[in-house]
């Protein structure tokens, strides 16, 4: 298993540009999520999904869109990049709580995004 993969590893954008961060998992996990981590801070939840076709907002959803058309993929779209979105972005996945009660999340290696 490749686990959770994220692309790209690094990205530099100009203010106003849009882009999509890719996240994929091959563990057949229902639950997937996106976090951002600013320097010296903990992770903050952006959006999450409990299955294909179902998404919901986390703590800091503004400026980001998500969709979940397949179990494997959960892309994060920045609509109009701003310097405040400079951060490291992590994707995570796990089995849903309804199956195992509680379970561990598996995190990807992260995408480091800089917005100029």
Partner 1 sequence: DAKTTQPNSMESNEEEPVHLPCNHSTISGTDYIHWYRQLPSQGPEYVIHGLTSNVNNRMASLAIAEDRKSSTLILHRATLRDAAVYYCIPLASGTYKYIFGTGTRLKVLA
Judged by phi (left if over 0) then psi (alpha if -120 to 50, else beta), residue 69 lies in: alpha
* Residues at the site binding partner 1, with contacts judged by CB under 8 A: 4, 31, 33, 35, 40-45, 48, 50, 56, 58-59, 90, 92, 97, 101-102, 104-110
Minimum distance of partner 1 from residue 20's CB (angstroms): 19
**What's the sign of the alpha-carbon dihedral 99, 54, 16, 14?**
positive
Minimum distance of partner 1 from residue 84's CB (angstroms): 19
Judged by DSSP in three states, 17 sits in coil
62 contacts: CB under 8 Å, gap ≥ 6: none
In the bound state with partner 1, the residue whose beta carbon lies nearer, of 14 and 39, is 39
In the bound state with partner 1, the residue whose beta carbon lies nearer, of 41 and 79, is 41
Minimum distance of partner 1 from residue 55's CB (angstroms): 11
């Amino acid at each position: 298993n490749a686990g959770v993969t994220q692309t790209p590893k690094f990205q530099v954008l100009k203010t106003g540009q849009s882009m999509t961060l890719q996240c994929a998992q091959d563990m057949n996990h229902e639950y997937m999520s996106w976090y951002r981590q600013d320097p010296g801070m903990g992770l903050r939840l952006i959006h999450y999904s409990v299955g294909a076709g179902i998404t919901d907002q986390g703590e800091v959803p503004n400026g980001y869109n998500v969709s979940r058309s397949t179990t494997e993929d959960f892309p994060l779209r920045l609509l109009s990049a701003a310097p405040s979105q400079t951060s490291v972005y992590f994707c995570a996945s796990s089995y849903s709580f309804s199956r195992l009660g509680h379970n561990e999340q598996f995190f990807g290696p992260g995408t480091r995004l800089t917005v100029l």
